[in-house]
Amino acid sequence: MSTPSAYLHEDLSIVAIEGDDALTWLNGQVTNDIKKLDVGGTVYALALTTKGRVLADVLALLPGESLYIAVPSSTSLALTTQFEKYIIMEDVTLRMTELRLVSILHAAPDFVPATPYVRSSRFGEKSLELLATTDELSTITSAFEMLDEARWEALRIAHATPRFGFDFGEKTYPQEAGLRERAVSFQKGCYLGQEVVCMLENRGQVTRALVRLSADAVLERGQPLLGSEGEVLGEITSVSHDGASSKALGYLKRAAAESQKVVHVGAQEVAVLGVVS
């Protein structure tokens, strides 16, 4: 059995969404079906601009009667400002909290945290997502092996999990980042940016795609990905290193993402393992 471990999401802020209309209102703001959220569970979604590009990713959590969302701290102000524009007659209040999100991997099946938590899935395994106060963090860090940023990134990249601010952001459409299956429902009601997302889905006109990459070399984020003639096909967005080898995520032009088996960083060959989906 794998050793239980934990990771503190330093880059995320927790917003409480309060009021009788919290669930139905949030469902109208994001790409996934929040009405499917059960007590003790999570739903992953995206908040979009009117042009269908990603403003933030949103992890909705319902540990009990209270609804929370974990959002990137870098965009939390812009996100809450946009959200508040769409509170019209609903009984909804947004409140920034001091809570922190901690992911617990490989916890024993009978482990019950003392803090509010939900059950989720990280990297293909069952996990727990804890909402902890600053004072509670010391107890958590002493009870689990804490993963540092490098080890968490290695897990994330190995499982081709895109990260906001690295692999997608305000210039990205959900389909480009391979988030269609994970974060978008095409059966739910309206939300901001839906028209563009549905148009892209029906016409298949994204110009680039996120791909998995591997190389027997030390790659770096931001390096251009080149074709056989030296033409720029895309760039690397995330990297993890294992000695002198690398696993990475990066964008390629759509045609190259579907056809190329090898690209280059300088003179070094980089294997294209497939499109993230």
Give 70-117 pLDDT, tens digit per residue. Answer: 999 999 999 999 999 999 999 999 999 999 999 999 888 888 898 999
Cα separation, 49 vs 210, whole angstroms: 20
CATH number at residue 43: 3.30.1360.120
Residue 168 lies in a domain: no
Residue partners of 225: CB distance under 8 A and separation at least 6:
213, 232, 233, 234, 235, 236, 250, 251, 252, 263, 264, 265, 270
Based on the fold, state whether residues 141 and 16 are members of the same structural domain.
yes
Domain boundary among 118, 143, 158: 158
Based on the fold, state whether residues 147 and 225 are members of the same structural domain.
no
Percent with pLDDT over 70 in the chain: 100
Based on the fold, state whether residues 34 and 102 are members of the same structural domain.
yes
Based on the fold, state whether residues 97 and 9 are members of the same structural domain.
yes
**Residue pLDDT, tens place only, 216-258:** 999 999 999 999 999 999 999 999 999 999 999 999 999 999 8
Cα separation, 8 vs 13, whole angstroms: 11
CATH number at residue 264: 2.40.30.110
89-113 b/e with 16+ CB inside 10 Å = b?
eeebebeeeebbbbbbbbbeeeeeb
Residue 269 lies in a domain: yes
Residue 145 lies in a domain: yes
pLDDT of residue 112: 87
Residue partners of 266: CB distance under 8 A and separation at least 6:
226
Residue 172 lies in a domain: no
251-270 b/e with 16+ CB inside 10 Å = b?
bbbbebbeebeebbbeeeeb
Asked whether the whole model's pTM tops 0.85, one would answer yes
Q: How many domains in the chain?
A: 2
Query: Which structural domain range is residue 258 located in?
Result: 207-275
